[in-house]
Each structure stands twice: as C-alpha cells, then as structure tokens.
Amino acid sequence: MVTDRTKLPVLGVDPQFRFPGVERRMLTNGVRLWSVDHRHTSLFTLLLLIPSGSAADPLARPGLAALTADLLDEGSGDRSGIEFHEALGRIGGHFRTEVTSDATLLSVTALARHANEAIALLVEVVTRPLFATSEFTRVRDLRLHRLTQLRQVPAVVAERAYLETLYGAHPYGHLAIGTDTSLRALTTEDVAAFHAEHYAPSRWTLIAVGGGEGAEMRGLADQLLDSVPVSPSADAAPPSPHGPPAPPPPRDRLVFIPRVGAVQSEIWIGHLGATRRTVDYHALLLMNMVLGGQFVSRLNLNLREDKGYTYGTRTVFDCRLGRGPFTFQASVQTSATADAIRQVVREISDIRDKRPVTPAEVAMGCAALTRGFPRNFETAGQIAVAVAKLALFDLPPNYFSEFVRRVAAVDVAEVTRVASVYLKPEKLVAVVVGSRAEVLASLSNLGFGEPVQH
Amino acid sequence: MDVSYEKRTLDNGLDVIVHEDHGCPIVAVNIWYHVGSKNERPGRTGFAHLFEHLMFQGSEHHDAVYFHPLQEAGGALNGSTNADRTNYWEVVPPGAVERALWMESDRMGYLLPALTAEKFRTQRDVVLNERRENYENRPYGLASMALVAAHYPATHPYHWPTIGAPADLRAASLDDVREFFTTYYHPANASLVLAGDIVVSDALRLAEHYFDEIPAGPAIAPVVPPPVQAMDGHPPLVLEDRVEFPRLYLSWPSPALHAPGDAELDLLADILGGGASSRLHRALVHDRSIATDVSVGQGSRELAGLFTIVATVAPGHTLTELDTVISVEVDRIAVDGPTDGELERARARVESDFVQRQQTVGGFGGKSDQLNAYNVFVGTPGYFVSDFDRYSRADRNAIKAAATSYLMPKRRIALSVVPVGSATVALAGSTCVNAS
C-alpha cells in the first residue's frame, strides 16, 4: 500500500491517564510517609520534603538553608562524610539535595534490593548530622569559591540581579547560594539552629517510590518508626501552604551589567507572577504555552525561528507558595539586544489585547499539555517529585488525575482574561548582561527609562 | 538488565527494531543516521549539526516547522549531533505513532524539495548563536576544542568540534546541503527504533508502510582516520579565557568505544573521580583543599577515545600543585591497582546506572536510544548484558593494566585554562593556543 502523503495521519484516541495511587500513612513519631507502588524498575527512590527552602533564610543571612543541606553528608552519626559516601557507593546509591525557594528536597536512589540501607542512610544524615567545624569551614569555602566562579556565568549574574530588582529585601529576593558577605558571617551554630528549627520530623513528608508491595512498605514504616526520633517540636504546627506576602514595587526597571567581550546579551524580563494555589493556575499554564512556554510559542518562533537572534527563549510562571516571578529569559546575539527586548515587550503586550490568543493556539497548547501529560510520570524519580508537589502545595489527592480535565476545560476567553490580569507590560523589569560598548547606548529608548548600571 | 526486542531489516537497508514496554502509555520513536562531524571535511566543519537543524524545518509534504504537528499530538521531540552519529526522536502517545513515522519518513525521503535559502540562513544564525551561548560565552567553553585540536592531526576527523568553526558555517552552501543529504540520509545508513506501549507486529507493519518506499542510497565507505603518532612528551598548552580560577585538563589517548580497555578505564575514571569518596576528590578537594572540583571521564567514541582529568584550582594554590598530586595518584593506582572496596563500589554504580538508564523508553539516553547505539556501533541492538559483562569481567588486575598502559606521562596533553592576562600561572613551559 502506498503511503498517502497528501495529509498527516489523524491522531488516535489516547488512553486515559491514571496517576499511580499514593498510600498515605501518618506515623506515631509525626512523620508523614507517602508511598507509591512502582514496580517498573529495580530502583528504589526515597525523597524527603522539608517545607523550608531559601525563603526561610534570615534576611541578613542568605545561603543558610542551602549550606545546611550541603553539610548533611559531611559527617553524620558515627560516620565521616567519606564513610557515608562509601556506604552509598556499595548500594549503587545517589544522594541528591535541592534547595528551592520554598523547600529542601533530599533524596537517595539506589538498587531496590538495598532499600533498607538507603532508608538508613537518608535518615542518618537528616537526623544525626555532625556539623563539625572543620567540615563547615571547608564546605563554606567551597561555596565561596563557587560564588566567585559564578561571576563569569551570564545567566546566573542576570538571575541574581533580576531577583534583587524584582523582590528587593524579600524572602524571594536572593539566590539559594547566598552572598559572599553572608557566607563569611555564618557559623556552625547558625547551621545547627536552622537544622533544629526546620528539619524536625514533624515537618517531614517522606516519599517512597519503588517496587514494594504493601507488606514491604509496612516494614519500611516500622524501620522509620524505629530510627526517627520523636522531635521535641513534634507538636509544632504542620507545614503551611502559605508563602510570604508580595514585595513592594521595584525601584529600578532596567538594570545593565557589563560583561567584557560578551558575544551575546543575557536578557531576563518579567514581573511578579502568581502563587501555586491560584484558581487560575491551569489557564496561566495554557496562556504561557502560547506566549513562550514551548518551542512553537510566539516568542520562540519570533526570536529564534523568524529572526535567528538566539538558540532559544522561554517564559515561565514560577508559581510558588508566595507570588513567584513571571520571567522571560534568553541569550541573544549582541547586535540584536535592543530589538529582542522590544519584541518581548510587544509580544507580552499584544497577547493581552491587540493579538489575543486564537482558538488554534489554545487548542495546540492544550493538546501539548494534556496529551503529553503521561510522559511526566515514567520514572521513580519523576513520580516522587510529583508527589512532593502534592505535599508542598497541599494539592488535592486527585490533582494529577484531574489535571487533563482541568486544562481541557479552559476556553479561549479564559486564557485572554488571565493574559490581561497577569501580564502587566508597564510593570516589567529587565536585566541585561552584555557588552557595554555595543549594547548600553541602545537601551535608553525601550520604555524602561534610563538603564541603571551595576 | 536484558531488553527484549525484535529486529528486521527492510529491503532498502533500514534497520527496524521494536521493544515493547507497556509501563507508561507512550511510544518512543528514535532514529539514528550513522553520520556525524567525523564525516565532514576541513573547511566545512560544523556542517552535520547545521544539517540536523534543517531536518526540523519541513519536508516536501509537510513544508513547515516539524514541531507543530507533533506538539499538537502531545509529543516531545529533539535531535542531536556528535562526532559519530546524528539522532532524532519523538516521544508520543500511542495514537500519534503513525504521525511521527509519517514525518520521519518524509524528511528521510523528501527533504530537499522543501529546502530554501531563507531557512538555511536563519538556521545558520541560530547555530552561530548556539555556539556563542554554549561555547564562546561560557567559562571554559573552548577547552574541549583546544584539546581535540591538539590530540588529533588536522586531517583527522576528530580534530574539529561538532559545533564547527564560525567561518566554516558561514562558508557552507545550499549545494553542500544537497550533497550531504544525498550521501548520508538514506535508509541503509539509518536505524529506527520503536519502543514503549506498542506491539511488535503493529510496529513492524507501520515502519514498513512508511519507510519501504524510500530508495536505498549509495554505499558509504567507513571513515578511516589517518594514523596518529603515539605522543612522546607533548609540550603543555595554555588557553586564556574569561574565568575566575585556573583549571587543569590532563588527557590521554584511550581505547575507542567497546574496545579492550574501554570498560576498565570507565571503572578507573569512577574510582579516581566519581563522587565524594573517590581518590582524586579526597586528595585534591577534601584532604588538601587545593582544588574546588575534579572530574574524570573515559570519553570513548567510535574511532578513538580520550581519558580526561579536569580539576579547578582553589584560590591560593597553583596548577603545578594539582598536577603533582594528580600524577602521584595516577602513578599509585597504576602500580597498586584499585582496592576491593573501590571495585565493589564502582561496579555497584555501573549496575545502578544501567538500571537507571532503562527507566525511560525515549529521549536522549533512553532505551530506544541505547538500542540504536548498540545496533549502530556493535551491530546487536540487545547488547545490554554483554555490555554490562565487560564491567563485571574487569578485575583489579585489568584496571591496573589499563592504567599502566594508557596513562603514561609521556602520552598526555596538559592544558591550562587561565584568566585573561594570566598566562604565567599555567604549567611551566606552556605554549599559547588560540580557540574562539
């Protein structure tokens, strides 16, 4: 049979997606243990969610949450950090830490036949870290060196200035790694105090994903009951799904940071976005798909596919417990800097009124989000992170199973409405990291006022 | 560890490989063309990768960007080029498999009628921007280019980086595109994998339906690299870059992918530099605090490999100190071999990495990509267990022997990457290299 090449094959009906069941237990020591029976792999993933991240840093001490997490595996219980990593190596394990603004995520992934040892190792570093002065100084110094190296990474230079411009002295106004001044001032006492306050087992949600049957998961629960002490603050308030209040309006609108010899300009543009629990979340996701959230979005097609200014662009609503940023980001060739900024402002403005989303764009964005949804839940690690979001943002248990229906229910009018409510061209701030000689003079007439130089 | 599959070669030479995995309602479509930057010629470097970009710009029967019909189907898609091969993949819901195959077959069979000068110019600009973003404007981004240029003679296909030289990219023409497509993009030089929520018989029938009509292309002579003279003491090199701390790159010629010694050097790399308990991390970062980081890798490719140790100097210390400590550790493991504990941990990590990679059917590095890699490089898609066995067989003596025979001081090239204007902090006697 000859292939019909006059038209693309029509799409078949997709199987209905069902998020795997999450079994929730509340242990008597206050630990929430959530498990998912995922037998598709011989790996076991244990993820611990601590609902405190860089936003919990004292305002004058940015970097404390991340430094604390970084020190957990540098000596714990009767083991040195090296001995911990040797034990981890024997079970084919990986230990990862991630500090976001709202949370600290700690995980061990290992071969499933070593699940008990994986649990023991994670519990040990979290409940019995030593925070020895020698290790503290060494790791703190490594973080200081990292800060120095990051001065040459345009995206990080831009992100730091962007967050400072947008949020100022606000829990979301700094990078998790902190600042040179702050890291130099921190002490082991600060770290121990942060750990005592934020890592109490009553604040844990432990997420286990693996091939365990019910009985094995009960065994896991018993092991956790035996090894995790009831903390003094076990009766402390459970984690709250509320974030910090919004900051006052920014003082500067356009910040320029010179980079000698830069062949591209790193550009970050945006303003305050939304909280994760906004009722408009699904409509915002869809609107962002059209604007800049996928390859075929307006901004990427304009700046990359039409003009060839850049390798790629993106926009994102980083929805957090509090109002996270709405951000456009791209690295563009130096000569195109001013025009790229003009195009971004125009696209953000036009999608609100002059060129509102079309039914075809909404249908495309919706299909990409819904039909492609199952592939986000293939691996144990992906499932664990998804479950952690349920816990952190206090989303309903059926959240993922309802996702497709919720997105499909958003119509064109709704997308246009959230575009006009959540996008505010007059409130945009911009940060540019690039060549002073070639770029600075071109930034004065973009509607942002005179650039402020850092 | 084993991955079941069925393989059929169509009359036009296209290998079709199918693997069923019904764990998630998705299907991976993955296609490899056995062509990469090693097939380029001097003066047209970077072309294989530029060509890859054009494969997303439309074909005769779908003359528009390839992303729309597949994103509308809930698919993810991408492609990549390296020295040895170019791959393209889609991960789609089962109901979109036919669409993905229609599109893959259309660009394999009918790309050129949709080619225009404008598409070509725009994608060349995009690639030049990709180069600026990922190499020129990134700290240490040019080091790997300087290393391969030093290791391989100018006529060797690994002498240039896959991203290519800007002047070469600007010199490329539409005629180059036509010639390249005709030479390399045809069924007999390709391998197609369908993996995931699909049954073997359906998958084979669909692959045959969409690809059978494409004629077999010309036979392609294998790339035969010119002989590389064994080094006997190469002068150290220095490259100035916008970086805060000097960094040392030490690299040795090493076995090609799957050649004897390759797995041994993989294990050795892990023992020397994998994680916080590795020898070099302890010696440089943990115990002495003379480096901020260290990494070690056996980078093996189809024709040859490079074993590389990379470490960054901590403030107050020197590249020479790093070189001294690294040399002592390399000598020590070449003399004594690894300990039993080190070998046990390295093997556990290999097993866990194998299992880890088998968690996904699609994308870069998923099962479909691995089936194609094995098919293209060793001729057996289901080479998983044999591959893993290489690591189980590598004992302490074999690892020690590999360290002894490959990591000789006179065979290495040392490259110092230093802050602009600080060439004097490089290893003594270094020669300046230019990369841009």
Enumerate the domain spans of chain A.
23-227, 254-453
Residue position matching structure tokens 């995980």: A107
B98 touching A (Cβ < 8 Å): yes
Cross-chain Cβ contact A152/B242 below 8 Å:
yes
For A29, the token pair is 């020591």
Task: State the Cα–Cα distance between residues B13 and B216, nearest whole angstrom.
Answer: 6
The structure's pTM equals: 0.96
B294 touching A (Cβ < 8 Å): no
Task: State the Cα–Cα distance between residues B142 and A146, nearest whole angstrom.
Answer: 20
At A129 the pLDDT is 98
CA B435 from chain centre, in angstroms, equals 21
For A139, the token pair is 């790791």
At A234 the pLDDT is 47
Segment holding B244, helix H or strand E: none
Cβ neighbours of B129 in A, within 8 Å:
264, 308-311, 331-333
Chain A: residue whose CA lies nearest to B57: A305
Q: Which of B54, B66, B72 to mutate to test the interface with A (most CBs of A within 10 A)?
A: B72
CA B217 from chain centre, in angstroms, equals 26
Cβ neighbours of B25 in A, within 8 Å:
14-15, 17, 374
At A17 the pLDDT is 84
B93 touching A (Cβ < 8 Å): yes
Cα B128 to Cα B134, B165, B355: the distances in Å are 10, 9, 37
Q: Which CATH fold topology does A254-453 show?
A: Cytochrome Bc1 Complex; Chain A, domain 1 (3.30.830)
ipTM of the complex: 0.95
Q: Are B413 and B151 in contact (CB under 8 A)?
A: yes
Residue A421 per-residue DSSP state:
H
Task: State the Cα–Cα distance between residues A425 and A432, nearest whole angstrom.
Answer: 17
Q: Are A99 and A176 in contact (CB under 8 A)?
A: yes
Largest alpha-carbon pair distance within chain A?
75
Tell which residue, A392, A329, A429, A328, has the closest CA to residue A100: A392
Cross-chain Cβ contact B129/A308 below 8 Å:
yes
**Counting one residue from A and one from B, how many pairs have CB atoms under 8 Å apart?**
215
Option in A3, A142, A261 nearest B292 (CB)? A142
For B106, the token pair is 């259309």
Residues in chain B where the model's pLDDT stays below 70:
none
Task: State the Cα–Cα distance between residues B393 and A447, nearest whole angstrom.
Answer: 67
Tell which residue, A92, A96, A85, A81, has the closest CA to residue A49: A96
Residues of chain B with CATH 3.30.830.10: 6-211, 237-432
B166 touching A (Cβ < 8 Å): no
Sign for the CA dihedral angle at A290, A292, A294, A297 comes to positive
At A352 the pLDDT is 97
B22 touching A (Cβ < 8 Å): no
What CATH number belongs to A23-227? 3.30.830.10
Task: State the Cα–Cα distance between residues B423 and B416, nearest whole angstrom.
Answer: 9
Residues in chain A where the model's pLDDT stays below 50:
234
CA distance A277 to chain B (A): 25
Window 124-143 of B, Cβ < 8 Å to A? 124-126, 128-130, 132-134, 136-139
Option in A82, A296, A311 nearest B277 (CB)? A82
Window 390-429 of B, Cβ < 8 Å to A? none
Largest alpha-carbon pair distance within chain B?
66
CA distance A193 to chain B (A): 25
Q: What's the one-letter identity of residue A53?
A: G
B348 touching A (Cβ < 8 Å): yes
Q: Are A80 and A205 in contact (CB under 8 A)?
A: no
What CATH number belongs to B6-211? 3.30.830.10
Residue position matching structure tokens 């115990």: B287
Tell which residue, B237, B351, B304, has the closest CA to residue A113: B351
Task: State the Cα–Cα distance between residues A449 and A250, nearest whole angstrom.
Answer: 13
Cross-chain Cβ contact B132/A263 below 8 Å:
yes
Cα B167 to Cα A213, B128, B150, B436: the distances in Å are 60, 10, 20, 11
Q: Are B124 and B172 in contact (CB under 8 A)?
A: yes
The alpha carbon torsion through B115, B121, B127, B131 (nearest 10 deg) reads 160
CA distance B66 to chain A (A): 10
Q: Count other C-beta atoms under 10 Å from residue B336's C-beta.
A: 11
Option in A41, A89, A381 nearest B348 (CB)? A89
Sequence-separated (6 or more) residues with CB below 8 Å from residue A175: A54, A62, A156, A159, A160, A163
**Local structure of A33: helix, strand or coil:** strand
Q: Are B25 and A15 in contact (CB under 8 A)?
A: yes
Task: State the Cα–Cα distance between residues B422 and B90, nearest whole angstrom.
Answer: 47
Task: State the Cα–Cα distance between residues A224 and A145, nearest whole angstrom.
Answer: 37
Window 367-386 of B, Cβ < 8 Å to A? none
Residue A79 per-residue DSSP state:
B
CATH superfamily of B237-432: Metalloenzyme, LuxS/M16 peptidase-like (3.30.830.10)
Q: Are A437 and A335 in contact (CB under 8 A)?
A: no
CA distance B1 to chain A (A): 10
Cβ neighbours of B134 in A, within 8 Å:
311
